[in-house]
Amino acid sequence: MRQLTSLDAQFLAFEDGRTHGHVSVLGTYAPMTADGRSLSAEVIIELVTERLPLLPPFRWRLARVPFDVDHPYWEDSDDVDVAAHVHTSTLPAGDDRELAEHVAQIIAQPLDRSRPLWEIHVINGLADGSVGVLMKMHHAAVDGVSGAEILSALLDQTPDGRDVPVAVPTGRRQSDFELFGRGLLNACRHPVRALEVAARALPHLDQVPTLSALPGIKALARSGRRGRRTEASAMSAPRTRFQAPVSGERSVAFGSVSLNDVKAVKEHFGCSVNDVVIAMCSAGLRSWLDANGELPDRPLVSFVPVSVRTKEQAGTFGNRVSVMMAELPTDEADAAVRLKRVKAELSAAKLHHKTLPPSLMQDANDLVPPALFARTAGAALRFGASPLLQPAVNVAISNVPGSPTTLFCAGAEQRTQYPISGVMHGIGLNITVFSYRDALGIGIVADRGQLDDAWPLLGAIQDALPELARLVPTM
């Protein structure tokens, strides 16, 4: 058995029927497999069953500690009913909007905690004849990097597949009595552990997005920095419609832009692909907010997840992430100036992020006794979304590099890939970008109560690339 860290457990604690802790990825595939069969739920079930030895999180089932005196454990199961996790649906028309609406309905449903926390949905009826495959995984088990490792275990670089190791034996499940006893022992040790992490965490608590809006956090961080050279970011976020509690419903939009065009802009301006992506998101948000009469006169603030996973931690799954906060120049009308500001802002944000402990997100959680954590983490998130408080950030933006070559699922060619992430109280908008082959796939997820139709925002972000491309002489 393997115990969840406080950072892993946070994604469980956030769930309250309106926020969900899972993340998803949507792929569209050629309808036929390498052996001439239709890509169906039965084929997916066979594939996952065969590859379970490569997919530890697909075998993990939550084991609660009695009375929740400690963080839960993952129990490695040898009796996973794969068929219970794979679902089939068929769309009447199958265009992108109908597919997005169907995906929005799927991601608005929580995962069943009595089973390993994943689902795969096979979606038929797409207009171009493709088959959609939506995979949901709980963030308590995987972050962005380890989620990509799951994909790499399921997808192949050739239609011929690969050899799979034999099943691995599972460990002995501990009894509730043993878990409770260990939990009590950990509770006794917690004050010492909290003192150890406090020195690292307190000076930087105002850099944790889920905490920084809470009353007293900035003062507490300043007191922790007293006598140190550490400087904190002076950013503050304006209020938008997305800084509010979320409902239980979601809206989704997805599309792509040319990766080659993005790279041409990158080369011309001497910046990174990520700089261009953030500039596109800034331009799209500016245009969309302005069209709706809601553009603040100050820059928006985004939080950007950053992996702190070391090479030695590859294949260990769970969460090894930190967060970088950066201003988005949504107050700038000129595309070239906006990109230059993004480059400077992200460079400064990266330098500042290096001054933070890599374990900050987990250290901040470790200050709270596990027996109280599940209650306080969720309450802090909901309270932080109060309209009476100054928001910490406006939007979550991620840019994840994917495969530059074609991938296959049971020999069926993957045609497109789109990230479908999640939202939380106080941050009702998430924009995630994932590269595949020669395209950047953009996935937008929003709280439906705050944004009923995400497609105009997607279009505004996509339109930002031609605006930048026109500034490149050779394009």
Tokens standing for residue 453: 């139709």
Closest CA to 369 of 199, 195, 190, 196: 190
The answer to whether the beta carbons of residues 429 and 246 sit under 8 Å apart is: no
Residues of the chain with CATH 3.30.559.30: 200-469
Q: What are phi and psi of 114, to 5 degrees?
A: -80, -10
CATH of domain 200-469: 3.30.559.30
Q: What is the pLDDT of residue 375?
A: 85
The answer to whether the beta carbons of residues 330 and 289 sit under 8 Å apart is: yes
Q: What is the pLDDT of residue 199?
A: 85
**pTM metric for this prediction:** 0.94
Closest CA to 135 of 58, 63, 250: 58
| Catalytic residue flag (residue 139) | yes
Which letter, b or e, does each residue of 157-189 get, where b requires 16 or more Cβ atoms within 10 Å of its Cβ? eebebeeeeeeeeeeeebeeeebbebbbebeee
Ranges of residues in the chain whose predicted pLDDT is under 50: 230, 232
Instruction: Give the rounded percent of residues in the chain with a pLDDT score beyond 70.
Output: 97
Catalytic residue among 139, 204, 353, 425: 139
Q: pLDDT tens for residues 19-76?
A: 999 999 999 999 999 899 999 999 999 999 999 999 999 999 999 999 999 999 999 9
CATH of domain 2-163: 3.30.559.10
Element (H, E) at 127: none
Q: What is the pLDDT of residue 232?
A: 47
Q: pLDDT tens for residues 212-239?
A: 777 778 777 777 776 555 454 557 899 9
Runs of H (alpha helix) within 292-410: 335-354, 360-366, 370-384
Residue 239 CB burial class (10 angstroms; 0-12, 13-18, ≥19) = middle
